[in-house]
């Protein structure tokens, strides 16, 4: 990069957003971050862990309440790149307050797109979506697979994605969409399976495994996802979607068993089987061939290495993490 450029990252407090901010800063970009909440403890913000090349500033804006302020910020800096990680993202909880999920993931997101399409300085808008829009699938699914959402969360994201495609067709809106497998890494929220499992074991608490942990998932390290997202931002084709995934699939139970082995404890002593959640997809396995062939991307962090990094992060921050909320807290 010959001249320093500025990116706006919406949802910079999220795990994926914070990791991507850190990746951009490492590459020498200046970053303007925005989220509806104040920045959390620095244990959850990788970009606060060590000095980086780029400059970062944070601005608190709620997509549902402060869209005007957020757009004014984008216009003030005429940022060529906007990357949106903001979403109500908990699947099971979306059944409890479905209207809130639709407000953020559909209504406010469409309003955001309608304002951004009027910014003639915008080179690329990266829309971070989810594989949940595909519902339960068998085998590997590519980017042309039909939507079959099975939860309010998935329906709300699918609606936002479909709206974006109409914006691209009607206005030539410069959007690229990403859908990543189950992301993980140091700094992830404690209600996610890997962070929670490690912390619960160290605290001597029992972990509840919904449906026995039989769901098959592909877990991909956020370092690899951030690398892919930057490639897509710079070199992706407008209007296209890109899957970010490994080819390795593991059941949630096998994942927990692997963590137990690394920590030298018995699975039976630290996990209990409970009923499955409503609308839980049995499997979604993403085919990332397009990203690998078109943009020459490769995943580099193995699950074994990534789990070691997560365990090290929990241990280093144990005194902080043990006093943080373990469960997702819904904010309207």
**Each residue's pLDDT expressed in tens, for the chain with a length of 332 residues:** 456 799 999 999 999 999 999 999 999 999 999 999 999 999 999 999 999 989 999 999 999 999 999 999 999 999 999 999 999 988 888 999 999 999 999 999 999 999 999 999 999 999 999 999 998 777 789 999 999 999 999 999 999 999 999 999 999 999 999 999 999 999 999 999 999 999 999 999 999 898 888 888 899 999 999 999 999 999 999 999 999 999 999 999 999 999 999 999 999 999 998 877 665 655 668 999 999 999 999 999 999 999 999 999 999 999 999 999 877 666 66
Nearest 5°: the CA angle 42, 46, 47 is 90
Question: What integer pLDDT is reported at residue 330 of this predicted model?
Answer: 62
Determine the pLDDT at residue 329: 63
What one-character-per-residue DSSP string does 224-284 give?
Answer: HHHHHHHHHHHHPPTT-EEEE--S--EEHHHHHHHHHHHHT--HHHHEEEEPPPTT--SB-
Domain spans in the chain, listed from the N-terminal domain onward: 6-183+219-244, 190-217+248-321
* Element of type H or E holding 17: helix 15-26
Dihedral over Cα of 313, 316, 322, 324: its sign: negative
Say whether 190-217+248-321 and 6-183+219-244 share the same fold: no
Q: What is the pLDDT, as a whole number, of residue 279?
A: 57
CA–CA distances in Å: residue 191 to residues 208, 220, 310, 329? 12, 17, 14, 10
Which residue in 332, 304, 294 sits closest to 104, CA to CA? 332
Q: How far apart are CA 106 and CA 124, in angstroms?
A: 20
Sort strands 216-217 and 250-251 into parallel, antiparallel or unpaired.
Answer: antiparallel
* Phi, psi (degrees; rounded to nearest 5) at 204: 75, 20
What does CATH list as the number for 190-217+248-321? 3.90.25.10
Tokens read off for 322: 């043990």
Alpha-carbon span 298 to 267, nearest angstrom: 32
> What is each CA distance from 57 to 28, 31, 61, 73, 127, in whole angstroms?
14, 7, 13, 12, 21
Cα distances (Å, whole numbers) of residue 68 to 19, 72, 74, 257 = 26, 6, 10, 47
Place of tokens 């942990």: 213
SS3 at position 286: strand
Residues with Cβ < 8 Å from 265, sequence gap 6 or more?
A: 201
Q: Which CATH number fits domain 6-183+219-244: 3.40.50.720, 3.40.50.300, 2.60.40.1250, 1.10.1240.10?
A: 3.40.50.720
- Cβ atoms of 83 and 74 within 8 Å: the answer is no
Token reading at 194: 């890997």
């Amino acid at each position: 990069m010959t001249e320093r450029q500025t990116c706006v990252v919406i949802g910079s407090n999220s795990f994926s957003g914070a990791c991507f901010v850190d990746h951009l800063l490492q590459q020498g970009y200046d970053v303007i971050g925005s989220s509806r909440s104040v920045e959390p403890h620095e244990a959850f913000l990788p970009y606060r862990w060590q000095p980086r090349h780029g400059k970062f500033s944070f601005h608190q804006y709620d997509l549902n309440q402060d869209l005007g302020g957020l757009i004014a910020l984008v216009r003030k800096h005429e940022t060529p790149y906007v990357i949106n990680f903001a979403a109500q993202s908990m699947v099971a909880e979306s059944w409890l307050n479905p209207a809130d999920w639709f407000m953020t993931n559909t209504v406010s997101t469409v309003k955001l797109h309608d304002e951004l399409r009027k910014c003639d300085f915008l080179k690329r808008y990266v829309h971070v979506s989810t594989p949940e829009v595909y519902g339960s699938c068998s085998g590997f699914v590519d980017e042309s697979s039909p939507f079959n959402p099975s939860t309010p969360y998935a329906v709300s994201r699918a609606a936002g994605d479909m709206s974006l495609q109409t914006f691209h067709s009607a206005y030539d809106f410069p959007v690229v969409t990403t859908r990543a497998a189950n992301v993980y890494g140091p700094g992830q929220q404690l209600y996610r399976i890997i962070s929670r499992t490690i912390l619960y074991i160290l605290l001597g608490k029992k972990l509840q495994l919904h449906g026995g942990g039989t769901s098959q998932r592909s877990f991909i390290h956020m370092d690899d996802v951030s690398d892919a997202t930057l490639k897509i931002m710079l070199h992706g084709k407008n209007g296209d979607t890109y899957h970010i995934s490994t080819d390795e699939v593991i059941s949630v139970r096998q994942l927990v068993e692997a963590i137990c082995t690394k920590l030298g404890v018995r699975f039976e002593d630290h996990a209990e089987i409970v009923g499955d959640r409503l609308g839980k997809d049995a499997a979604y396995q993403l085919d990332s061939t397009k990203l690998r062939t078109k943009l020459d991307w490769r995943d580099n962090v193995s699950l074994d290495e990534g789990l070691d990094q997560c365990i090290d992060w929990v241990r280093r921050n144990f005194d902080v993490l043990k006093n943080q909320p373990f469960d997702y807290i819904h904010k309207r």
